[in-house]
């Protein structure tokens, strides 16, 4: 990856497709992370009421300056993972972006958690990330990010993307991913439980959780029994809904 992990889209047809996939309304407020050279930003501001676009690379300032001066565009310089999302005004209700691959997963999860106003995401990500976030229980790629994303959203792969549409051409495949909010997502206790459950994938969930919460083995096994789940089940055997139910059971025992 170049320029802090971002590759620039060079195909206008794909840029137009991303905007169509986003199904934006004239009243929508969009958060875009990774403004790059502003080619997607220009298309977003043409169809939405307002665009917050974030860029960390100050070398792009001469390219982005004219765009930043346009009505309906707020350009935020800095690290999107450190940006105070609660301070964005007007409040975003959609995320549309060619995400820097190095922060794609944590950024998606952070916006799910901290921007309850956002109802949908249309994002370009590495294909591996797309597969992970939409993975089903029991699959090799199913893990903590899958559970956290799916407890809040319906996650769909919209289309695969050829590396040739980027400049420079990346070594990995990409995809456009859609997330549509269906719930508020996970609270802090559930996020901790999910991360701990997957921290030792070869161990049972109860044993894995015991490493993080010493003395929890008996309570975890009991909660699993009550939910009709095998005591020795591994984390990948539980659905996102199972994790939410398990978190509720365990909180009742504390």
Q: Could you report the per-residue pLDDT of 150-166, keeping only the tens digit for each?
A: 999 999 999 999 888 77
> Out of 1.10.8.100, 2.130.10.10, 2.60.120.380, 2.40.30.10, which CATH number does the structure's domain 188-253 have?
1.10.8.100
This prediction has a pTM of 0.92
**What does the alpha-carbon distance between residue 13 and residue 159 come to, in Å, rounded to a whole number?**
13
Query: Are the C-beta atoms of 125 and 149 separated by less than 8 Å?
Result: no
CATH architecture of 8-181: 3-Layer(aba) Sandwich (3.40)
Q: How far is CA 242 from CA 56, 75, 135, 167, in A?
A: 38, 41, 15, 42
Cβ(17)–Cβ(159) under 8 Å? Answer: yes
* pLDDT tens-digit map of 52-84: 999 999 999 999 999 999 999 999 999 999 999
CA 205-130-156 angle, to 5 degrees, is 100
Rama region for 187: left / alpha / beta (φ>0; ψ in -120 to 50; rest): beta
Task: Please report, for the chain, the start and end positions of each structural domain, with discontinuous segments joined by +.
Answer: 8-181, 188-253
Identify the pLDDT of residue 1: 34
């Amino acid at each position: 990856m170049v320029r802090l992990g971002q590759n620039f889209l060079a195909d206008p047809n794909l840029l137009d497709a991303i905007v169509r996939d986003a199904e934006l309304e004239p009243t929508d407020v969009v958060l875009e992370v990774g403004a790059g050279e502003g080619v997607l930003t220009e298309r977003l501001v043409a169809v939405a009421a307002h665009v917050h676009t974030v860029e960390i690379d100050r070398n792009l300032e001469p390219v982005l300056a004219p765009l930043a001066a346009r009505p309906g565009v707020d350009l935020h310089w800095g690290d999107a993972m450190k940006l105070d999302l609660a301070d964005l005004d007007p409040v975003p209700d959609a995320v549309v972006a060619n995400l820097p691959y190095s922060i794609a997963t944590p950024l998606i999860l952070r916006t799910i958690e901290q921007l309850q106003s956002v109802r949908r995401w249309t994002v370009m990500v590495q294909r591996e990330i797309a597969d992970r976030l939409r993975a089903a229980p029991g699959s090799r790629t199913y893990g903590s990010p899958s559970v956290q994303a799916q407890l809040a959203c319906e996650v769909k792969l919209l289309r695969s993307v050829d590396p040739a549409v980027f400049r420079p051409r990346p070594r990995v495949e990409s995809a456009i991913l859609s997330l549509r909010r269906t719930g508020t997502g996970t609270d802090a206790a559930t996020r901790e439980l999910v991360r701990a459950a997957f921290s030792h994938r070869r161990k049972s969930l109860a044993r894995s959780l015991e490493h993080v919460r010493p003395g929890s083995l008996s309570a975890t096994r009991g909660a699993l029994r009550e939910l009709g789940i095998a005591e020795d089940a591994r984390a990948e055997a539980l659905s996102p809904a199972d994790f939410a139910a398990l978190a509720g059971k365990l909180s009742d025992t504390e």
